[in-house]
């Protein structure tokens, strides 16, 4: 409700100005904070699953530099599964329906964080209020004109033109840590149950031959590739290497598309998965991933899986969210166009080149005409 009421920039500005007059001005700490001084840190991360994984370099750096400090995260249901198995996190607060907010706020207040961190360039009013109500004396967040007055450590960033992980690790500066010394490799927790499940759901043929994971699901229409696109891509891949195998993954809403591919091609097997950890474990057992732009990109990158990713015409999305520290190829639609506009020949070219470069199977590169040139990033 507060989000709708404060959707106007003028109303938001008035709200923050009024709030700043009521609240005492925070004490700014210009000297680098010694890691040993903070006993409890709270990171506010009410974000999607892929965004939570982009936070993993920051969480790992906090855990590494401050091994005796307890680290808690506040997440929405989307990130809860990942937070629970995150080896860098000691406590998880679930920010769910509005009826549970009072209880969660009480738990956060009881946690008595020394430092609260907000790794978002444009946090909502609710998220800012949680930061203030946490009671933490030190507030570290990405700089924002309307929010800086509430922070002890506003962190500069270029939200639109730099990778999110670059901005996030910069939040280690107040702890006296050089952000350029921090690895931006993504990390994801695992469970024995998910790994065992994946071992039991890969067939003998998929073990013996080149096996590619296909993820067809995306959260927005502009990121979805067509059934015709997937069909043409698989057909061309099979013509190059008849023994190649595909494990097709997606959300239940994409079951019709996945079943169609499975029925048309004997090399394709649709595999439903119980959750993201199982899906990621299965992908980690394949040679590479071919996927549209979604959170599974970050999960596969955290497992070190080579990939080809299809992006829509908003090319800055690749700049901000592209895979980190993993071999990959990006196929970008023309500006202003959806992923559906990408030709199968473009995806084929990037996939074969990636497989050849990584020496994954006995692949060869066929000559192609200039009209079928792929977008390489």
- CB-based contacts of 175-181 (< 8 A; 24+ apart in sequence): 175/32, 175/33, 175/34, 175/35, 175/38, 175/62, 175/65, 175/66, 176/32, 176/33, 176/34, 176/35, 177/35, 177/61, 177/65
- CB-based contacts of 266-272 (< 8 A; 24+ apart in sequence): 267/234, 267/238, 267/242, 267/243, 268/214, 268/234, 269/203, 269/206, 269/245, 271/201, 271/247
Output the pLDDT for position 362. Answer: 57
Same domain? 239 vs 353: yes
pLDDT above 90 covers what percent of the chain?
73
Provide mean pLDDT across the span 216-233.
95
The DSSP result for 309-348, as a single string, is EEE-S-THHHHHH---SS-EEEEEPPTT--GGGS-HHHHH
Q: How far apart are CA 255 and CA 286, in angstroms?
A: 21
Put simply, whether the predicted model's pTM sits higher than 0.95 gets the answer no
Same domain? 87 vs 215: no
Same domain? 206 vs 352: yes
Same domain? 204 vs 342: yes
CATH number for position 34: 3.40.50.2000
- Look at the block and give the residue holding tokens 């199982």: 278
Same domain? 349 vs 250: yes
Residues 6+ apart with CB under 8 A from 308: 288, 289, 290, 291, 328, 329, 330, 331, 347, 350, 351, 354
Range of the domain at 334: 192-372
- Checking if the pLDDT of 30 tops 60, the result is no
Burial class (CB in 10 A: 0-12, 13-18, 19+), 242: exposed
Output the pLDDT for position 117. Answer: 96
Provide mean pLDDT across the span 223-228.
96
Looking at per-residue confidence, does 221 or 208 come out higher?
Answer: 221
Output the pLDDT for position 376. Answer: 30
Same domain? 48 vs 176: yes
- Give the tens place of pLDDT for each residue, 288-332: 999 999 999 999 999 999 999 999 999 999 999 999 889 999 999
Output the pLDDT for position 369. Answer: 39
- Checking if the pLDDT of 11 tops 70, the result is no
What pLDDT band is residue 374 in, cutting at 50, 70 and 90? very low
Looking at per-residue confidence, does 325 or 370 come out higher?
Answer: 325
Domain boundary among 155, 181, 207: 181
- Give the tens place of pLDDT for each residue, 236-265: 999 998 999 999 999 999 999 999 999 999
- Give the tens place of pLDDT for each residue, 92-127: 999 987 788 889 999 999 999 999 999 998 888 888
Structural domain includes residue 169? yes
Same domain? 224 vs 311: yes
Same domain? 100 vs 153: yes
Q: In total, how many domains does the chain have?
A: 2
Output the pLDDT for position 357. Answer: 87
Range with the poorest average pLDDT among 201-205, 324-328, 358-362 = 358-362
Same domain? 142 vs 223: no
């Amino acid at each position: 409700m507060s989000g709708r009421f404060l959707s106007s920039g003028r109303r938001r500005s008035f709200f923050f100005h009024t709030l700043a007059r009521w609240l005492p001005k925070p004490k700014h700490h210009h000297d680098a904070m010694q890691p040993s001084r903070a006993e409890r840190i709270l990171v506010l991360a009410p974000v999607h699953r892929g965004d939570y994984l982009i936070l993993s370099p920051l969480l790992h750096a906090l855990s590494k530099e401050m091994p005796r400090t307890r680290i808690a995260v506040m997440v929405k249901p989307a990130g809860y599964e990942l937070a629970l198995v995150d080896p860098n996190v000691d406590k998880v607060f679930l920010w769910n329906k509005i009826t549970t907010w009072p209880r969660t706020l009480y738990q956060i207040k009881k946690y008595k964080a020394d430092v609260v961190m907000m790794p978002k360039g444009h946090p909502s009013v609710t998220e800012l209020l949680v930061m203030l109500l946490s009671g933490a004396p030190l507030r570290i967040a990405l700089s924002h004109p309307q929010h800086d007055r509430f922070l002890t450590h506003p962190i500069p960033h270029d939200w639109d033109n730099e990778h999110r992980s670059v901005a996030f690790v910069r939040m280690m500066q107040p702890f006296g840590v050089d952000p350029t010394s921090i690895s931006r490799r993504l990390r994801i927790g695992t469970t024995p149950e998910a790994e065992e499940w994946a071992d039991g759901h890969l067939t003998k043929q998929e073990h013996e031959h080149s096996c590619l994971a296909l993820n067809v699901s995306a959260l927005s229409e502009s990121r979805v590739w067509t059934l015709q696109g997937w069909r043409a891509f698989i057909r061309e891949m099979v013509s190059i290497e008849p023994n190649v195998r595909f494990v097709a993954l997606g959300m239940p809403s994409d079951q019709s598309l996945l079943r169609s591919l499975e029925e048309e091609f004997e090399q394709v097997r649709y595999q439903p998965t119980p959750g993201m950890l199982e899906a990621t474990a299965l992908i980690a057992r394949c040679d590479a991933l071919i996927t549209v732009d979604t959170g599974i990109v970050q999960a596969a990158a955290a497992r070190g899986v080579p990939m080809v990713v299809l992006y829509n015409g908003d090319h800055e999305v690749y700049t901000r969210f592209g895979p980190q520290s993993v071999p990959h190829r990006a196929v970008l639609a023309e500006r202003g166009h959806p992923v559906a506009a990408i030709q199968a020949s473009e995806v084929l070219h990037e996939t074969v080149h990636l497989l050849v470069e990584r020496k994954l199977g006995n692949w060869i590169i066929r000559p192609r005409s200039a009209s079928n040139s792929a977008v390489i990033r």
